[in-house]
Amino acid sequence: MILLQKKRDGKELTTAEINFFIDGYTAGDIPDYQASALAMAIFFQDMTDSERADLTMAMVNSGDTIDLSGIEGIKVDKHSTGGVGDTTTLVLAPLVGALDIPTAKMSGRGLGHTGGTIDKLEAVKGFHVEISNEKFMEIVNRDKVAVIGQSGNLTPADKKMYALRDVTGTVNSIPLIASSIMSKKIASGADAIVLDVKTGAGAFMKTEEDAQNLAHAMVRIGNNVGRQTMAVISDMSQPLGYAIGNALEVQEAIDTLKGEGPADLTELVLTLGSQMVVLAKKADTLAEARVMLEEVMANGKALAKFKTFLRNQGGDDSVVDHPERLPQAQFKIEVPAKTTGVVANMVADEIGIAAMLLGAGRATKEDEIDLAVGLMLRKKVGEAVEAGESLVTIYANRENVADVIAKIYDNITIADSGVEPTLIHSVVTE
């Protein structure tokens, strides 16, 4: 196949060649061995900006796309590359919704050390994402915020390619990751996209340099295919906020919507939210947008929007005022610091796995999760701690949590000094 030789030799593929390949691969006319050869050639030879845009759009056009044109206003989607205790979507959707910005959100479930927005919302009794497209549109038009699960036939080319890359050593390629993520965002219909690219131990991109490269690649693809896109690079060396676990994160989201949440989660939500408000053309500057968001946190509008959002999808909105009605774990176990000092490091992905061991997350897609369990961090990196003071509270539905305690001790370092990590590394607009 001539286009495989071209890519192998570092030449640029044309739009027609990329469309031919992706269409053929999706239809099953092009076999896996040729697609793996192409992925490996891309891994070593990279792709130009126009190839990346073409690949993204070919994957978008390989299946269904969601038409949000029936929803009034500029639809801004936010996407996170995934992390530990990342409660941002739960807060952001009602927060910007309170400013009349529509969020028609398609979300997923958690796997491994990362959690998923749908699982978290299902900690609210009755809440469900199985709603028809018509109902989804109707709710967003009326109340600005709704969440549904990923539909069956969105970007089938990406599904096939991603599974193939997983077993051929070609996941870690910037052009392939960027086109994979952006194809899903574009197929789900947003006019503008805000990306939260995480960096650090709990992130897909472990180093800041990789996160920067991915962010630039995705922002360029979005802008080149006519969707205004920007990215925030944020810290995921330690978990975000204090809560890790489904019901615990719903509680954390409620606190944050009231303006009483953890400092880092609140700051990230205001940073991402300000970008969304500006992209939605509800404010001219980020500073103005931030004031508007702080106002709806302070005057109760954001919290009221959260209640409406839960109620619209069958959820018991009384949990907002009665958090004790959220699923409760049977045992609360403190993990005391062994020495006095400063928390110097907290390895985010390993802490995420500790929560998963309790049942808060899934090791495999088939696993059932326990909505009540998880971890509450009592200290974060940079904070002083005395020997005997609690580092973490474990919320468990089993009495023996020695495995979880061992994992926590292995992954939290107390030293003479430690500095709070920078939360927002940079904002990427091109």
Chain residues that interact with ligand URA, rule: CB under 6 A: 162, 171, 176-177, 180-181, 204
**Are 179 and 43 a contacting pair, CB within 8 Å?**
no
**241 makes contact with Ca ion (CB under 5 A):** yes
Q: Which does 409 bind (CB under 5 to 8 A by kind): ligand URA, Ca ion, none?
A: none
Smallest separation (angstroms) from ligand URA to the CB of 157: 12
Torsion, CA 162, CA 164, CA 170, CA 173, rounded to 10: -20
- Minimum CB distance to Ca ion, residue 124 (Å): 16
Nearer to ligand URA among residue 81 and residue 393 (C-beta):
81
Q: Quick one: which H or E segment has residue 97?
A: helix 88-97
Q: Find the catalytic residue in 54, 77, 158, 191.
A: 158
**The tokens of 9 are what?**
């030799």
**Active-site hit among 165, 185, 362, 425:** 165
Number of residues counted as binding Ca ion (CB under 5 A)? 5
Catalytic residue at 316? no
Torsion over CA: 163, 165, 171, 173 (sign):
negative
Where does residue 356 fall: left (phi above 0), alpha (psi -120 to 50 degrees), or beta otherwise?
alpha
Residue number, 171 or 304, with CB nearest to ligand URA: 171
Does the annotation mark 185 as catalytic?
A: no
* Helical spans, DSSP H, in 98-155: 117-121, 133-143
What value does the CA radius of gyration of the chain take, rounded to a whole number of Å? 22
Q: Which H or E run contains 381?
A: none
The nearer residue to ligand URA, 153 or 299, going by C-beta atoms, is: 153
Judge whether 282 counts as a catalytic residue.
no
Least distance between ligand URA and beta carbon 181 (Å): 5
Task: Say whether 183 is catalytic.
Answer: no
Catalytic (active site) residue 158: yes
Q: How far is the CB of 177 from ligand URA (least distance, A)?
A: 4
Alpha helices, DSSP H, located in 230-347: 246-257, 263-279, 286-298, 301-312
Of 220 and 380, which CB lies nearer to Ca ion in the complex structure? 380
243 binds Ca ion (CB under 5 A): yes
| CA triple 226-229-230, angle to 5 deg | 160
354 binds, among Ca ion, ligand URA, none (CB under 5 to 8 A by kind): none
**Which structure tokens are listed for 224?**
């080149």
Q: Which of 180, 183, 188, 274 is catalytic?
A: 180
Show the DSSP H helices in 144-207 as ranges. Answer: 156-166, 174-187
From the number of C-beta atoms within 10 Å of its C-beta (0-12, 13-18, 19+), residue 230 rates as buried
Q: Which of 56, 80, 81, 87 lies at the binding interface for Ca ion (CB under 5 A)?
A: 87
Q: Which is nearer to ligand URA, 211 or 257 (CB)?
A: 211
Question: Interface with Ca ion by CB under 5 A: which residues?
Answer: 85, 87, 240-241, 243
Residues marked active site are found at: 79, 158, 165, 180, 184
